[in-house]
Structure 1
Amino acid sequence: MLPPPTLSFTIPSIHDNLVLQCRVYHPACLAPTTVTQAAEWRKRSAIVAHPYAPLGGCYDDPVVDKIASTILKEGFVVGTFNFRGAGTSKGRTSWRSKAEQDDYISFLGFLLFYLHHLRPPSIPEQNEHSNFNHSDPELHDLSPIPSQSVPASEFPTPTSGPQNPNTKPVLLLSGYSYGALITTLLPPIISSVIAPFQAPIRGSPHAEIRMRARFLADQQNELMNERFSSLLLRSPLSGRSTQLRDHTLTNSKIRQTDGGVRIGGEEDLRRSSHESPGSRSSFTLDSPVRKSVEKVRSIAKSGRLASRGKGSHESDASSHRTKGSVPEISPEHDSADDRETIKAIPDIAEGLQIAYLLVSPLQGWANTLATLSLWGSKPARATKRANDGGIMIPEHDMKLTIDPTLALFGDDDIFVSVNKLRAWAERLHDECKGRGQGQFRHKEVPRAGHFWHDREAVKVLREEVRLFASSL
């Protein structure tokens, strides 16, 4: 089961600026409560998309929870979000899924820039001569952020080094049911997805997403430095000259509750409160949420932090800061002449390994969605022919034969015939085999239905997801 989120916030959709609910969960290595959980983060992240909103799908779906919590335990930063029309995300589900694809890309853009700015502290090297060891009786549990206080037994026991030599950053794009369909329909080239975020006009949804990613990453950097410093100060290394990668905080008085940090909510700044009844484990900073949003937007307008006491708007945005709660955000432009756009980060996806996880994919719905329009539309293109049978493979499926992919489905799916799922999986497998390369793999789980109620099937689901995530 997922712990309370590290971050609960909103972003605008790049499709039409609608407000989307989002959550981010940090793994134990980024929020250790004991020394045994302290480990270097391997820059692995994942997104898990939920089922069809009109049928009750949202990021609180139990299958989404099972997938996301399993990936989280493998050391991934995990993000979930509500498509339009789900939960308290605005709007309604579209007919052709283009809007939902843009919703997914909006969160994908946020996560990439958030991870780019995230700077977890370095972990001191441990060896047989070090006094910093897991069995030292002087080491105590540390829980400065109760939302991350997860029993150590819930996480894998750290080893002396990574089991997988791969050190490339990883982004696992995943989804369940309708979420798997949207994941499949995403553009195959990540650079094309990121390109509109690189130099967005200030005030646009792309710029707003980037500003919020920077703001929240800087905030978490400050919190992580405080946590790691406190952990080290309680250890025998406190007398040594141990250095963290970033500055050490000593007097931070950040208030925390069981829900992690929440920012955003309704984008209407005239509202006095952005708390939504029924939102799970949300948290508002000491300064009202609207002040935080105003602060982010004032940065987008001015290109710099408003200084205290200079103008009513500036003082309003800055006077409510709590000590250590709002990290400063340096301008992302070169000069005063470049204030209309935000500076690009060319290496944002350098070396990034994309992988796909599809659980109960709605195979065959892609063409249906493409033609669901009052005026009609052409079906999705199929541009690649399988090597040994002359069967056309849809263009959007080809990426699944190139990047590491795992498809999981049951033999008792009520929405898609198991024969159709088998044929789809075999076509992709044959394409990989014909080319002599490719990493597509599928697993048909006995007694598993679309909703994964069978306990034995759920065990297989968790184990397959765990093995796939750990292999990346």
Structure 2
Amino acid sequence: MPLPTPTLSFTIPSIHDDIVLQCRVYHPTCLAPTSILQITTWNKKAAIVAHPYAVLGGCYDDPVVDLVSSTILEQGFLVGTFNFRGAGASKGRTSYQSKPEQSDYLSFVGFMIYYMHLLSPPPVPTDLLKFTRFDSELHDLTPVPSQALPPPRLSDPRYVTAAVPNPHPAVPAPAIAVRGNTVEVPNTGPCLLLAGYSYGALITTYLPPIISSIIAQFQSPAEGSAHSEIRLRAECLAAQQNEVMQTQITSLLNAHSHKRGRSLHADDLLHSPKLRKSSGGVRMGGEENLRRASHDSYRSRSSFTIETPEMVRRSVDRVRSIGKTKRFLPKRQNSASSPKANGSQSSFEHVSPEDGSSKMDTVVCKEVPGIGSGLQTAYLLISPLQGLVSHLLTLWSSRSWKDQIPDHEMKLTVDPSLVVFGDDDLFVGAKRLRSWVGKLSAASKGSGRFRHAEVSGAGHFWQDFEAVKLLQEEVQAFVKTL
């Protein structure tokens, strides 16, 4: 199924040089339910999918990016896509060393980490959880049979996959549902899946291996910096969406309470007049902090869709006031520092001049305690570039000619990772890819953290119908274990 209309369309500055990047965020059905049966717990799982080389037409509208993103979204993940510099409506030009693009990716990683941390949908009532869990008619919320995919044909010579050994023999390994009739035991903790296709996979491979080092750059950013702007954008949009979810889910629960006493079937949708005012996503970016040196470059890109509800406008305007430079009235100042509806505190505060002068207040980012705690990082690489192509696109940077695996690749053997490629790749020979994944498999020492799948007959652009189905099935099976 193709991706739906994005929940949010916005811009952020790159931490490399303030270049404006175009971004999208898609909410799973549990965060944007239209039926009482879709109200389930979200375990703070999110994914980012990076696109192919912009010079060759790559952008976040790429068909493979669409396929992978929609597959992950259907598993209940929050999904984000973005355009590297020089792609789509993002500013700047594509570099030839990949380092600016790595910073572009890290900019969006910072946004997603804070956004998913601050996003707080209303808790699901216990009785509703029992109702959806034990009612056999309502338990399965997968697509109708005509839309569902058949399980992988493991005997098919077109499909080759790596074994998944048990890293802890004393503890049963989580089973993959599509591999058999076993019951799957997914991870219930927060997870951030970093994914990329083609050039996007190359950039994903070069990302720093420790997620805490990325978070540290955003915890105490300088006023007016790109890091601060990204933090403010994440908090603003999370607060807005918290209010939208509160209204939407409360409306469905109220409608459900009036229907108690009669059976509820899977096709019994409970619509609210407010929910029918769905918009194409909120478009915004650039007004939160007027003291940014590059603010003028953002203003022309800031807009709301005409259909955006007035309630969303008020919510965003209220949170935007956190970053404005004028001195606040006492009532406004107390409002900015008071707990939000979801019980969280604003991570920004205003510091007035010590001399009591009329100078403008300073907006200071406070550290967010506990952010990133227990966050599992995973990686998904589709048709990664290796060999001469990767050397040319990175100008031989950070490469080792020895047999040892570079540090940025070792993370694939430590965190859950999946590499999927075809044996008919136009840019990278299958022999080289087999050698590369073989080294990573050996380095993982049977932990089962690293997996790979080779699809016979699949090219770099995944145009074969059967190959596309196998790609989707492998991604789905991997995501189910996260």
TM-score range, shorter chain: 0.7 to 0.9
1:221 aligns with 2:242: yes
| Offset at residue 466 of structure 1 (A) | 0.2
Aligned with 1:429 (options 441, 464, 470): 441
Aligned to 1:206: 227
| 3-state SS of paired residue (1:65) | helix
| Distance in 1 between residues matched to 2:221 and 2:241, nearest whole Å | 24
| Kept after mapping to 2: 8 A contact 1:8/1:260 | yes
Cα gap change, 1:155 to 1:449, in 2 (>3 Å): closer
| Kept after mapping to 1: 8 A contact 2:349/2:366 | yes
Q: Which deviates the most, 403-412 or 258-267?
A: 258-267
1:411 aligns with 2:434: no
| Distance in 2 between residues matched to 1:24 and 1:2, nearest whole Å | 11
Deviations 1:285-330 (A, max 9, x none): 65999x999876652244987789x9xxx9xxx9xxxxx9xx9983
| 3-state SS of paired residue (2:405) | strand
Structure 1: runs of 5+ lacking an equivalent: 138-149, 157-161, 241-250, 319-323, 372-377, 386-390
Aligned with 1:440 (options 435, 442, 450): 450
Cα gap change, 1:259 to 1:446, in 2 (>3 Å): same
Q: CA RMSD in A?
A: 4.0
Aligned with 1:360 (options 383, 386, 394): 383
Aligned to 2:109: 108
| Kept after mapping to 1: 8 A contact 2:239/2:315 | no
Aligned to 1:369: 393
| 3-state SS of paired residue (1:235) | helix
1:190 aligns with 2:211: yes
The one-letter code matched in structure 2 to 1:345 is V
Aligned to 1:247: none
- The number of aligned residues is 414
Aligned to 1:232: 253
Aligned pairs for 1:24-423 within 5 A = 24-126=25-127, 163-236=184-257, 256-264=277-285, 268=296, 274=302, 298-302=321-325, 330=346, 332-333=348-349, 336=352, 339=362, 341-364=364-387, 365-371=389-395, 379-382=397-400, 391-423=403-435
| Distance in 1 between residues matched to 2:409 and 2:276, nearest whole Å | 47
| Distance in 2 between residues matched to 1:402 and 1:94, nearest whole Å | 30
- Using the aligned pairs only, state the percent identity: 54
| Distance in 1 between residues matched to 2:300 and 2:435, nearest whole Å | 54
| 3-state SS of paired residue (1:16) | coil
| Kept after mapping to 2: 8 A contact 1:9/1:265 | no
| Distance in 1 between residues matched to 2:369 and 2:311, nearest whole Å | 34
Cα gap change, 1:417 to 1:354, in 2 (>3 Å): same
| Kept after mapping to 2: 8 A contact 1:304/1:331 | no
Cα gap change, 1:216 to 1:134, in 2 (>3 Å): farther
| Offset at residue 284 of structure 1 (A) | 5.4
Deviations 1:247-294 (A, max 9, x none): xxxx99799444122222796379677469xxxx996565999x9998
TM-score by length of 2: 0.75
| Distance in 2 between residues matched to 1:235 and 1:135, nearest whole Å | 19
| Kept after mapping to 1: 8 A contact 2:37/2:132 | no
| 3-state SS of paired residue (1:380) | coil
| Offset at residue 437 of structure 1 (A) | 2.9
| 3-state SS of paired residue (1:341) | strand
| Distance in 1 between residues matched to 2:276 and 2:322, nearest whole Å | 24
Aligned pairs for 1:451-470 within 5 A = 451-470=461-480
Cα gap change, 1:221 to 1:298, in 2 (>3 Å): closer
The one-letter code matched in structure 2 to 1:53 is A
| Distance in 2 between residues matched to 1:129 and 1:118, nearest whole Å | 24
| Distance in 1 between residues matched to 2:274 and 2:128, nearest whole Å | 34
| Offset at residue 164 of structure 1 (A) | 2.5
| Distance in 1 between residues matched to 2:298 and 2:128, nearest whole Å | 56
Deviations 1:75-131 (A, max 9, x none): 000000000111100001011011100000000000000111101111112379969
The one-letter code matched in structure 2 to 1:380 is S
| Distance in 1 between residues matched to 2:349 and 2:325, nearest whole Å | 11
TM-score by length of 1: 0.77
Q: Which deviates the most, 452-461 or 333-342?
A: 333-342
The one-letter code matched in structure 1 to 2:438 is E
| Offset at residue 155 of structure 1 (A) | 9.2
| 3-state SS of paired residue (1:448) | coil
| Offset at residue 366 of structure 1 (A) | 4.0
| Distance in 1 between residues matched to 2:195 and 2:227, nearest whole Å | 22
| Kept after mapping to 1: 8 A contact 2:45/2:191 | yes
| Kept after mapping to 1: 8 A contact 2:240/2:316 | no
| 3-state SS of paired residue (1:90) | coil
| Distance in 2 between residues matched to 1:339 and 1:254, nearest whole Å | 39
The one-letter code matched in structure 2 to 1:369 is L
Deviations 1:40-88 (A, max 9, x none): 0111110000000011100000000000000000000000000011110
| 3-state SS of paired residue (2:17) | coil
| Distance in 1 between residues matched to 2:64 and 2:306, nearest whole Å | 21
| Kept after mapping to 2: 8 A contact 1:7/1:25 | yes
Aligned to 2:4: 3
| Distance in 1 between residues matched to 2:452 and 2:137, nearest whole Å | 45
Cα gap change, 1:230 to 1:132, in 2 (>3 Å): farther
| Distance in 2 between residues matched to 1:131 and 1:166, nearest whole Å | 20
| Kept after mapping to 1: 8 A contact 2:379/2:418 | yes
Structure 2: runs of 5+ lacking an equivalent: 150-182, 262-271, 288-294, 355-360
Cα gap change, 1:23 to 1:424, in 2 (>3 Å): same
| Kept after mapping to 2: 8 A contact 1:59/1:81 | yes
| Distance in 2 between residues matched to 1:25 and 1:425, nearest whole Å | 31
| Kept after mapping to 1: 8 A contact 2:97/2:397 | no
The one-letter code matched in structure 2 to 1:454 is D
Cα gap change, 1:103 to 1:273, in 2 (>3 Å): closer
